[in-house]
Amino acid sequence: MMVKHRHLLDFTGWTADELLALFDTTDVMAQVLQRTIKKVPALQGFTVSTLFFESSTRTRLSFERAARAQSADVISFAAGGSSLAKGESLKDTLRTIDAMQVDLYVVRHAAAGVPYQLARWTDAAIVNAGDGRRAHPTQALLDAYTFRTSFPGFDGFAGKKLAIIGDILHSRVARSNLELWTRLGATVALCGPATLLPRELEQPRLSLHHRLEPTLEGAQAVMALRLQQERMTSGLLPSLAEYRARYQLTEAVMALAHPNAIVMHPGPMNRDVEISSSLADSPRSVIERQVANGVPVRMAVLYTLLVGKK
Amino acid sequence: MMVKHRHLLDFTGWTADELLALFDTTDVMAQVLQRTIKKVPALQGFTVSTLFFESSTRTRLSFERAARAQSADVISFAAGGSSLAKGESLKDTLRTIDAMQVDLYVVRHAAAGVPYQLARWTDAAIVNAGDGRRAHPTQALLDAYTFRTSFPGFDGFAGKKLAIIGDILHSRVARSNLELWTRLGATVALCGPATLLPRELEQPRLSLHHRLEPTLEGAQAVMALRLQQERMTSGLLPSLAEYRARYQLTEAVMALAHPNAIVMHPGPMNRDVEISSSLADSPRSVIERQVANGVPVRMAVLYTLLVGKK
Amino acid sequence: MMVKHRHLLDFTGWTADELLALFDTTDVMAQVLQRTIKKVPALQGFTVSTLFFESSTRTRLSFERAARAQSADVISFAAGGSSLAKGESLKDTLRTIDAMQVDLYVVRHAAAGVPYQLARWTDAAIVNAGDGRRAHPTQALLDAYTFRTSFPGFDGFAGKKLAIIGDILHSRVARSNLELWTRLGATVALCGPATLLPRELEQPRLSLHHRLEPTLEGAQAVMALRLQQERMTSGLLPSLAEYRARYQLTEAVMALAHPNAIVMHPGPMNRDVEISSSLADSPRSVIERQVANGVPVRMAVLYTLLVGKK
């Protein structure tokens, strides 16, 4: 299965077969990371640059580890120290960095669309590591991969249901998971207060809810989103006590879901806000495995874009 | 052609033959960077440390890329997080870093002379990556190298003319280019408002001007310098409008230069201040190639100082 | 001599033989660093992460150099840019980083005990690079190693005496040296103003003093500690002039010690505060060698914990 894509900006144009091929490659990478020597020479001589205009240590380190585990060189570019502060245009900044002979950029930016713009300006591959509220495809991939590997004899995404609860409005994680899981044949239920649930997302295989009961019904995967405390003061949210009462994921609430349902969270967690601490540490929780799958999933993405398509 | 120098602080003592040998090595490095695997083992086991007391992400990354492309190890030392803030002397700081067994330091400092001082305190090689207004030799090398590779059948620097326009007073780029191009046999014309044109630079093969016409006449290479906006308020400059009218490089103004003249800028640009945006993007402009030549030129410098002299 | 330890948190449980084996390994590493190619493949495929919640460029770079000189991959994690600032718990942060498949963490934290806590949460090895006032074992190792290599035909630590002068109260360096040297069979004398000399340290082979004379008598190793200027205003210290008069190490004062005594300082120095500048630069001073021994000692620690115990 050859993947024909030059970039991973979102999942537009990616077929279910290509996405499943990414998961198969992830299986191989996960095995590499089980060895004593967790390193392969697959990307020797390639240079991967992280280009983070918005700070995120964990995502950046996860990509850098994924690159180094395949023997690629890594350039860390944080926008804080750059000439952008001197008034240089984004385009001129990228041209300058591009002169470092980078093969692939991992881009994060607070504004939606920046990675797409960069893809037009460089010959290098681009991986979107989060742009505004728009997309965060590798997070969605690691979520779906975690789901796939949580059930022995997993028989595919068709007929499965993912429930996502919380601040859908501001969440690129929700958008990318919606795009990915529906492409793979699953259905998705999104749930949150009216102010945080954008109606324009409506599409086939998606349902929108304000209450947990219909959201969780039949769901095999249940994901709580981080509640950004800074939204609380903006009038977008009810009181914290009310939010907890209506939307907090707890062991009791999980009785509404499929008996085998797993619990996910993209992190960082507010324990006992959007998710109870005991549920986060319970056997249903695959949160640690989500994090652990970050490196092999990103290894598979880097490998596929740089080498695997040839 | 063996180069006998231990450091590259400025071009004092470098012969034209040694400088041309650096360009020949740069040709080889540029070819390496055209390959799919842009990496050679030339500096394996060597450690290069960037030591930037003044922030410059692009220059630092360019040197680090040049080191890694030759398989050297890299240590990034930014002065902000260091014990210098605790009142330790520069000498004690360098001694401490020196204990890391560094083979070559790339040093940038806001004060002229610091790289020269460091060269007296360590056995390692030193490359000056910019010290105050004094020198920035690798920028001058990449400018001259870009010129040399812009004309098929290039027949040498003798008889060629470089024009530099702008804030000469504060520019280490102007000083290093003046030193380099005159050593190579070219003439140099410097142009700017009286307050920004230091008379003490006078020397053979140099002319100083306040008007563009005599500066550009016969010039095959024309370089605009970045106008530091912070100088504007200091009384050193006329109004921005007046500066643009008298000194901005435009396609119209370039008619005064040699018909084949190229346009250069050391970056980062203020578009439509010291250079018109359309000229910067025109076929005359080699600005992107300047940036692209940064890595191979610095590869050649590192290689020559660490290995090539043996 | 196999070392059975998984971590280096402090010296609890380390036998004198195990510590001397570390010094023997350090001898080998120091020879590696004398070669032109200062690199061995001993830790290829291993990942070492520095995890500094308290900033210390020199210690961090020393560990990173020690890792790279053995071909390990390095992840630099500085707490400033992390999710800890978003209110995530220390445990969740470590779990996240742990997903990067790190083999060994080098941890520094302003609070005593954090590296011990982390050791309970991860399968990776932990090296304590300084926790509050509690311990800084690799500094003590390099101090003792420097002592051992300063005397030709060194016949062991038994019967030797180390004197440490200054702010004992806040010094993890003093505590770790006390623990290490007494384990190796030496005696230790600690000296400082009453407010900075904690009586609870009392133990066999230790003497506590307020005056230099009994402290230095017979000492073969004399160490001045950095005087934290910020303590001066807190009422813990006499005036700076009085401190200098009573506790500054000078060439004159050193006449009170053993005739061959060496002078040490863990750095960064306040010249002419806790130590006279001329003594720091005198032949008695081994301060530069202390710094130089930082990399080989840390190479030995990393190697021993990751590979040597097998």
Count Cβ–Cβ pairs < 8 Å, chain A vs chain B: 66
Residue-wise pLDDT tens digits, B284-310: 999 999 999 999 999 999 999 999 864
Only one residue has tokens 């504060």, namely B170
Is A55 in CB contact (< 8 Å) with chain B?
A: no
Is C38 in CB contact (< 8 Å) with chain B?
A: yes
Asked if B58 and A92 come within 8 Å (Cβ–Cβ), the reply is no
The dihedral built from the CA positions of residue B303, B306, B307 and B308, taken in this order, carries a sign that is positive
Mean residue pLDDT across chain B: 91
Q: Is the pLDDT assigned to residue B183 strictly greater than 50?
A: yes
Asked if A99 and B229 come within 8 Å (Cβ–Cβ), the reply is no
β-pairing, B206-209 with B187-191?
A: parallel
CA distance A254 to A251: 5
* Chain B residue whose CA is closest to A85: B268
Is C92 in CB contact (< 8 Å) with chain B?
A: no
Rg (CA), chain A: 19
Asked if C73 and A39 come within 8 Å (Cβ–Cβ), the reply is yes
What local confidence, expressed as pLDDT, does residue A81 receive?
45
Chain C interface, mutation test: which of A61, A68, A145, A269, most C Cβ atoms within 10 Å?
A: A61
Only one residue has tokens 């063996």, namely B2
* Chain B residue whose CA is closest to C70: B45
Neighboring chain A residues of B229 at a CB cutoff of 8 Å: 87
Q: What secondary structure does DSSP assign to C55-120, as a single string? A: --HHHHHHHHHHHHTTT-EEEEEEGGGSGGGGT--HHHHHHHHHTTT-SEEEEEESSTTHHHHHHH
Question: Residues of CATH 3.40.50.1370 domain(s) within chain C?
Answer: 16-136+291-308, 151-285
Mean pLDDT of B200-210: 94
Please list the ranges in chain C whose pLDDT falls under 50: 81-82, 310
Question: Residues of CATH 3.40.50.1370 domain(s) within chain B?
Answer: 16-135+291-308, 151-285
Is A83 in CB contact (< 8 Å) with chain B?
A: yes
Give the amino acid at B11. F
Asked if B100 and C65 come within 8 Å (Cβ–Cβ), the reply is yes
Is A231 in CB contact (< 8 Å) with chain C?
A: no
What local confidence, expressed as pLDDT, does residue C232 receive?
64
Q: Which of B192-196, B276-280, C2-6, C58-62 has the lowest mean pLDDT?
A: C2-6
What local confidence, expressed as pLDDT, does residue B94 receive?
78
Name the band, by pLDDT with cuts 50, 70 and 90, for residue B57: confident
Output B40 or C56, whichever has higher pLDDT.
B40
Residue-wise pLDDT tens digits, C9-36: 999 999 999 999 999 999 999 999 999 8
Neighboring chain A residues of B38 at a CB cutoff of 8 Å: 45-47, 101
Asked if B45 and C55 come within 8 Å (Cβ–Cβ), the reply is no
Chain C 210-229, residues with CB within 8 Å of chain B CB atoms:
229
* ipTM summary value: 0.76
- Tokens encoding B197: 């044109």
Asked if A101 and B295 come within 8 Å (Cβ–Cβ), the reply is yes
Chain A interface, mutation test: which of C84, C101, C121, C309, most A Cβ atoms within 10 Å?
A: C101
Asked if B65 and A82 come within 8 Å (Cβ–Cβ), the reply is no
Residue A51: strand pairing partners: A77, A107
Is A241 in CB contact (< 8 Å) with chain B?
A: no
For the entire predicted model, the pTM comes to 0.84
Is B64 in CB contact (< 8 Å) with chain A?
A: yes
CA distance A116 to A122: 11
Asked if C269 and B75 come within 8 Å (Cβ–Cβ), the reply is no
Asked if B83 and C57 come within 8 Å (Cβ–Cβ), the reply is yes
Mean pLDDT of B48-73: 92
- The per-residue b/e assignment along A164-203, b for 16 or more CB within 10 angstroms, e otherwise, is bbbbbbbbbbbbbbbbbbbbbebbbbbbbbeebbbeeeee
Nearest to C55 among B44, B81, B100 (CB): B81
CA distance B113 to B53: 13
The superfamily (CATH) of domain B151-285 is: Aspartate/ornithine carbamoyltransferase (3.40.50.1370)
Please list the ranges in chain A whose pLDDT falls under 50: 81-82
Neighboring chain B residues of C57 at a CB cutoff of 8 Å: 77, 81-83
Is C206 in CB contact (< 8 Å) with chain B?
A: no
Is A82 in CB contact (< 8 Å) with chain B?
A: yes
Asked if C65 and B75 come within 8 Å (Cβ–Cβ), the reply is yes
CATH domain C16-136+291-308 topology: Rossmann fold (3.40.50)
Nearest to A82 among B38, B57, B68 (CB): B57
Q: How far apart are the first and last CA of chain A?
A: 11
Is C295 in CB contact (< 8 Å) with chain B?
A: yes
The stretches of chain A forming alpha helices (DSSP H) are 16-32, 57-68, 90-98, 114-121, 137-148, 172-183, 212-216, 229-232, 240-247, 277-280, 287-303
Chain C interface, mutation test: which of B73, B91, B104, B122, most C Cβ atoms within 10 Å?
A: B73
Q: Hey, what's the torsion of the CAs at C181, C184, C186, C188, to 10 degrees?
A: 20
What local confidence, expressed as pLDDT, does residue B81 receive?
45
Neighboring chain C residues of A268 at a CB cutoff of 8 Å: 83, 86-88, 92-93, 96
Is B89 in CB contact (< 8 Å) with chain C?
A: yes
The superfamily (CATH) of domain B16-135+291-308 is: Aspartate/ornithine carbamoyltransferase (3.40.50.1370)
In angstroms, the separation between the Cα of residue C206 and the nearest Cα of chain B is 31
Cβ atoms A7, A127 nearer than 8 A: yes
CA distance C143 to A212: 62
